[in-house]
Each structure stands twice: as structure tokens, then as C-alpha cells.
Amino acid sequence: MLLYASSKSMFVGGIEAEVRVHGQHKYRNLSDVLWEAISTGQILSLYQGLGTKNLQSFISQFVYFYGYSYFKRLYLEKSGSKSIGTATNLVLAAAAGACTAIVTQPLDTASSRMQTSAFGKSKGLWQTLTDGSWSEAFDGLGISLLLTSNPAIQYTVWVLVFL
């Protein structure tokens, strides 16, 4: 997926945001971004933050899977049941999603900052994480916790259909 970000805009695939620099349009379309990357020799800048986003995604999948497995095992041991119902499954999945959001939010924030940094001016992961405070590293945690309901529903449906 093609990704370019600057301090004023973000381009993902064919979707673009209008950019104004000092009241003038800097980019009219995606080809302007590509041309700038080629002409300045900064092709890799189109992928700023991609490594961090991949790391965040890997850790997120790991934490979610093992968190869900842990909560499910804990519930089954405490309740004495041999299976769990749909409502309980949703709650367990949401709890695993909330743990995942809390653990991975700093990486997600760092990735977003790297992607939206000036063209070719992205900092490394550690520097991006340590530039601000811990509360800044958890920017967006509230909405991330709210959005855990969607994967919880998807995973619950998958478990009910395939297992």
C-alpha cells in the first residue's frame, strides 16, 4: 500500500487530502507526491513509519490472541463450564481487545507521528517515542478502546462458526 504523509496531509493509496502551504496548493494529486519523491531521491520516504506499523500489528495480533486465550481459560476454570456463550465470548474478546489497545497504543501513536512527519524527516521509533510524555504516547487510547468492539464481534463470529 502506498503511503505518504507530511505535516499537512496524508495520502493513502488513491485517497488524498488537500494540502495548503502558505495559502497555496502544494500537491494537486498523488503523482505530484511521487514526482517529489523521485526528484529529491526520497522514494523510501513514501513508507515512513511502515516498519513501526508492522511491529505494532505483529505485537497487537500476539497480545490479542494470547489475551483472549487467557481470559477464556480463566473464565472456564472459574465458572466450571465446558463452553462459553455468545455474550460471554463478546465480553472476553472485548477485554482482550482492550488489553491489546493499552499495550500497543504507544507504537500506534509513534507510527502515526512518523507517517505524518515532514517529507523525508521521519525520526526513528525510539526518538519518536521519547520526544513526548507518556500521556502523549497514549493519545487516542479512548477511541482505540471504543473500537475494540468491532474485532471482538468478528472474532466471536469466527469462533462460533469455525470452532
Are 117 and 123 in contact by the 8 Å Cβ rule? The answer is yes
My answer on whether 73 and 130 are in the same domain is yes
Q: Tell me: pLDDT of 94 over 60.
A: yes
My answer on whether 84 and 138 are in the same domain is yes
| Domain coverage including residue 85 | 48-162
My answer on whether 85 and 142 are in the same domain is yes
What percent of the chain stands above pLDDT 90?
13
Cell of 152: 471482538
Per-residue 3-state assignment (H helix, E strand, C coil) for 22-55 = CCEECCCCHHHHHHHHHHCCCHHHHHCCHHHHHH
Provide the sign of the torsion angle of the four alpha carbons 47, 51, 56, 61, taken in this order.
positive
pLDDT tens per residue across span 56-93:
889 889 999 999 999 999 999 999 888 888 788 888 88
pTM over 0.85, yes/no: no
- Domain count along the chain: 2
Q: Rounded to an integer, what distance in angstroms lies between the CA atom of residue 108 and that of residue 105? A: 5
The predicted structure's pLDDT at residue 86: 79
pLDDT tens per residue across span 102-134:
888 888 877 777 776 666 666 766 776 677 777
Q: Tell me: pLDDT of 16 over 60.
A: no
My answer on whether 13 and 84 are in the same domain is no
Q: Rounded to an integer, what distance in angstroms lies between the CA atom of residue 15 and that of residue 1? A: 11
Are 96 and 71 in contact by the 8 Å Cβ rule? The answer is yes
